[in-house]
Amino acid sequence: MNADELIKRVDDKASLDFLAAMARHKSYSQTEGERQLAAFMAEQMRGIGLDAQLQKVEGERVNAIGTWRGAGGGKSLLFNGHLDTNPVSEGWTVDPWGGLVDDKFIYGIGVSNMKAGDAAYFCAVKTLIDAGVKLRGDVILTYVVGELQGGVGTLAAIRQGVKADYFIN
């Protein structure tokens, strides 16, 4: 299957719906909502066949880590993005937790930093799996916490042995 055929398989509506579902999680840094979004991500990764778990960070905080196992003999690739967001600022004219999608935008706290990127790599892997693509190397999806606290989630993942040959952060 070539790249053009794979691109045609991307389900734009499903991808936007997935991002909207992420945006509906009130995932302020260091709150229960952050933990709930991590649990949601782990569940979604399991739902497409990844080996996924919640990884303890510090206190009650957790990362969601999933691995799509390759057949062997290939290089591994890791995607890393954070789940936690800043509080809502003033000036919103729509519900910042509504995940509203219109013909131009998707609205929500954390969409541009960085839930859209997180959703994109999840949906890319899902598209590959749905298309029956088999890779030689593993693909690791990390949804970490603590972006505003010095990257504590990423550091915890590294310290707990999460690694790859290549990564996209």
Active-site pick, 34, 118, 138, 147: 147
pLDDT of residue 61: 97
Is 146 exposed, middle or buried (CB count within 10 Å of its CB: 0-12, 13-18, 19+)? buried
Entry pTM: 0.95
Find residue 28's DSSP bridge partners: 85
From first to last of the 169 residues of the chain, give the pLDDT tens digit. 788 998 999 999 999 999 999 999 999 999 999 999 999 999 999 999 999 999 999 999 999 999 999 999 999 999 999 999 988 999 999 999 999 999 999 999 999 999 999 999 999 999 999 999 999 999 999 999 999 899 999 999 999 999 999 999 9
Q: What pLDDT sits at residue 130?
A: 97
Q: Is 138 a catalytic residue?
A: no
**DSSP-derived secondary structure for the chain:** --HHHHHHH--HHHHHHHHHHHHTS--BTTSHHHHHHHHHHHHHHHHTT-EEEEEE-STT-EEEEEEE---SSS--EEEEEE--BPPPPTT-SS-TTS--B-SS-B--TTIIIIIHHHHHHHHHHHHHHHTT---SS-EEEEEE--GGGTSHHHHHHHHTT---SEEE-
In the set 34, 84, 118, 138, the catalytic residue is 84
Catalytic site residue 84? yes
Backbone angles phi, psi at 86, to 5 degrees: -80, 160
